Amino acid sequence: MKKDVIYIDVEDDITSIIAKVKQAGSKIVALVPPRRSGVLQSAVNLKLLRRAAVAADKHVVLITSDRPLSALAAGVRIPVARNLQSRPQLAPVDAPLEAASDTIDGRQLPVGELAGLPRVDTDADEAPGTDSAVEQPDAAPVVAAGSSDAGYSATTSLTAVEPPAPAGKGLRIPNFESFRKRLFWFGGLGVLLLAFLVWAIFIAPRATVVIAARADAINIDKIITMNPTALTDVNKLQIKPEVKQIKKTLSTEFAATGSKDVGNKASGAMTLSNSYDSSPITVKAGTIFTAQNGLQFTNGSDVQVPGAKVSGGGIVPGTATITVTAVNIGPQYNLPPQKYSSSNANVSAAGDQMSGGSKDTVTVVSADDVNKARQQLGSVDVAAVRTELVKQFSGDVIIVQESFKADTGQPSITPAVGEQATRARLTQETTYTLIALSRTDVRALLGDMLNKQIDPSQGRRIYSLGDNSIYFSDFQSLPGGAFSARLITTGYIGPNIDPKALAAQLAGKRYGEVQQIVGGIKGVDNVDVRYWPFWVNQVSKPDRINIKFTVKNAT
């Protein structure tokens, strides 16, 4: 509630104060007098001020801590507050003197504290012809709240007992703060009630009309192509799929139990002699030279042995020196110089000391170790992998469950089979694949198939494309990364009913009227109407009507 705060100057007389009160824009006027104000120390002036306020329909309260002024104000029933934060009350008549504050901030005057000011009737308070409250003390007797001066400290609000009213005329100070709260609550409830009525009458009412139509089932069984690199073409029964893959790796460590001999082959120099032919003889690489104990050596490259010559009445053989290597490893090939027989009968061989042959048995990874490790790999949770693949698809898609497959690659063994090791690791990677089709593409394909089954002259339309009951079979992978599968489902066609036109026709109709209108349409088997909320029995606007179709197979 608005209020006005008026600060009284020392030079103001009672006439100017009354004029300011009358000019105040609010009904509640707080007067803040200066300290020891002389103009308000007169009971006559206070009586004149009170009469003028009542005549102007104003409520006046004095903001002062001056006890004599408070006592005079109580005599003429003008409420007094110690400061702008105190509740206005009628001050005790016998209140002791106390220094008042020189400055009061009128902007802080709380409306609620002034809301309870009494509205005084001058005729009921004093008899005509009375000049002052001092001359009529019985007109406004005031009883102090207590006799102790400590009760009026600078930080304590004024408390007073309301003076008894004359018999038959009770004086009651109304509580405007309580009135304002009640007004706020009742106003808020009124606004909520109005909003609820608007919602309940104009916004909430809705109706759902469920139409069970007699429809014909159209079975669809077509082989379609799914090519990730080609665009969707309904005429070619071709859809571009979305392919998702996940790779899962399993590995295990195992002990190597195989064994093999490792070492070096003995080698040395060997002299070849040609004593039988005057022409040179070529000894091919890989020629076998056998020692006296049967151990064999071979040469690593071709060598030409010169032909034999006659000199001094004798034959001088042609010779050539080559390096030979033992056929196998082992120290037994470290042979002393000796003669060797050759697989080439035209040459003879004499070997020098053969050395460097060695042999040792070590542990290696065997094929049997690998086979045992494969059995220890365990298995992947295929259902979890399938679920993980499905989550990778976004948007509205149809999962081709039959496309799920797992491609297991060749295992990797480190170290490899036959290599020296005491422990090894087997790793195997499997690639899981799943494809999905865009529901929009599938619906376009099914719609094209079903539209070819409709005779426009019969007034029929598609009720269900069957995209929610599709299953695939005979899934195959084609060359180039494409796939093929049989798409099997059932679509339904029935009477051609325009939902928008029907909603406009049903607007404002009740249950029985809706059933009569819709039930009379050819091809409709049953109709049900559901109004919402429960108090609604008709809907006025077409956009508040939701028409749903259910299919009843005619066969």
> How would residue 198 be classed by pLDDT, with cut points 50, 70 and 90?
confident
pLDDT at 430 over 60: yes
- Percent pLDDT > 90 in the chain is 38
For the record, the structure tokens of 286 come out as 């890989």
The H or E element spanning position 212 is: strand 206-226
What separation in angstroms does the CA of 479 have from each of 225, 408, 472, 476? 12, 19, 20, 10
Tokens standing for residue 90: 């009628």
Q: Helices marked H in 306-403 — which ranges? A: 367-376, 382-392
pLDDT band at 9 (very low <50, low <70, confident <90, very high): confident
Q: Residue 175: what pLDDT?
A: 67
SS3 at position 486: strand
Per-residue confidence band for 393, with pLDDT thresholds at 50, 70 and 90: very high
Query: Do the Cβ atoms of 350 and 321 come closer than 8 Å?
Result: no
Which residues, at least 6 apart from 126, have a Cβ–Cβ distance to it below 8 Å? 47, 133, 136, 139
Name which of 114, 109, 95, 200 is nearest 156 in CA terms.
Answer: 95
Q: Is the per-residue pLDDT at 395 higher than 50?
A: yes
Q: What is the CA radius of gyration of the chain?
A: 59
Binned at pLDDT 50, 70 and 90, residue 93 comes out as low
More confident residue, 383 or 550: 383
Contact 1/176 with Cβ under 8 angstroms? Answer: yes
pLDDT at 428 over 50: yes
Domain ranges, ordered by start, for the chain: 3-172, 202-213+496-553, 264-358
Which among 474-483, 499-508, 537-546 has the top mean pLDDT? 474-483
Strand order in the sheet with 59-63: 3-7, 28-32, 59-63, 80-81
Average pLDDT over residues 123-129: 39
Q: Is the model's pLDDT at 83 over the cut of 50?
A: yes
Cα–Cα distance measured from residue 240 to residue 488, given in angstroms and rounded to the nearest whole number: 18
Residue 467: pLDDT over 60 = yes
Band of pLDDT at residue 174, cut at 50, 70 and 90: low
pLDDT digits (tens, 9 = 90+) for 284-340: 999 999 999 999 999 999 999 998 888 777 888 889 999 999 999 999 999 999 999
- pLDDT band for position 476 (cuts 50, 70, 90): very high
392 pLDDT above the threshold of 80: yes
Which has more pLDDT, 461 or 353?
353
Mean pLDDT rounded to a whole number for the chain: 81
Q: Residue 407: its pLDDT value, please?
A: 92
Tens digit of pLDDT for each residue in 22-73? 888 888 888 888 876 678 878 888 888 888 888 888 888 888 888 888 888 8
